């Protein structure tokens, strides 16, 4: 497994950043290679991704979620990965969003991509696109303020 940690500072209040992140179905608008995310219920999502021409589908479980603090998950099928997104208030109008992930690349191409930092670069790019996505809007596109205890 490879560990990745990346952060981005966004010029929105912590609640706005967190609320937008809970709108999983909007992920394809800023995550490279993510074609679709469907929220199945409060703690389960279904993903369709396309990386290097290969389409993959997998399910994931939200293992912990606390408003304005964190969203943690683990994959249930497909490539093994788990992670947490944390939200830290820097000022009332500025938030640090940090992604920490553990990924076990599947297949030769993904292992090579991981070894050369492609996956970490993709996470960094996704966070930068999230910054642009949320800062260009007057507010979040929705919110889920439920709590999922560990």
- pLDDT (tens digit per residue) in 65-91: 999 999 999 999 877 889 999 999 999
Q: Can you tell me the distance from the alpha carbon of 140 to that of 17, in angstroms, rounded to the nearest whole number?
A: 7
| Predicted confidence (pLDDT) per residue in 121-147, tens digit | 888 999 999 999 999 998 898 888 888
CATH number, position 40: 3.30.530.20
pLDDT of residue 112: 57
Range in 23-27, 45-49, 93-97, 141-145 the model is least confident about:
141-145
For the chain, how many structural domains are there in total?
1
- Please indicate, yes or no, if residue 150 is contained in any of the structural domains: no
- Please indicate, yes or no, if residue 140 is contained in any of the structural domains: no
pLDDT of residue 111: 57
Q: Residue 124: enclosing H or E segment and its boundaries? A: helix 118-135
- Please indicate, yes or no, if residue 131 is contained in any of the structural domains: yes
What is the extent of the structural domain holding 126?
2-135
- Please indicate, yes or no, if residue 145 is contained in any of the structural domains: no
């Amino acid at each position: 497994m490879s560990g990745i940690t990346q952060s981005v500072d966004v010029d929105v209040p912590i609640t706005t950043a967190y609320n937008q992140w809970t709108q999983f179905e909007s992920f394809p608008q800023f995550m490279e290679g993510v074609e679709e995310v469907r929220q199945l219920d409060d703690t389960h999502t279904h993903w369709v991704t396309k990386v290097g021409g290969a389409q993959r589908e997998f399910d994931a479980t939200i293992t912990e979620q606390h408003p304005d603090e964190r969203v943690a998950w683990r994959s249930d099928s497909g490539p093994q990965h788990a992670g947490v997104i944390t939200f830290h208030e820097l000022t009332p109008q500025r938030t640090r969003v940090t992604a920490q992930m553990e990924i076990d690349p599947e297949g030769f191409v993904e292992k090579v991509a991981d070894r050369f930092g492609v996956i970490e670069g993709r996470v960094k790019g996704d966070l930068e696109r999230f910054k642009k996505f949320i800062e260009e809007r007057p507010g979040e596109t929705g919110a889920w303020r439920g709590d999922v205890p560990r």
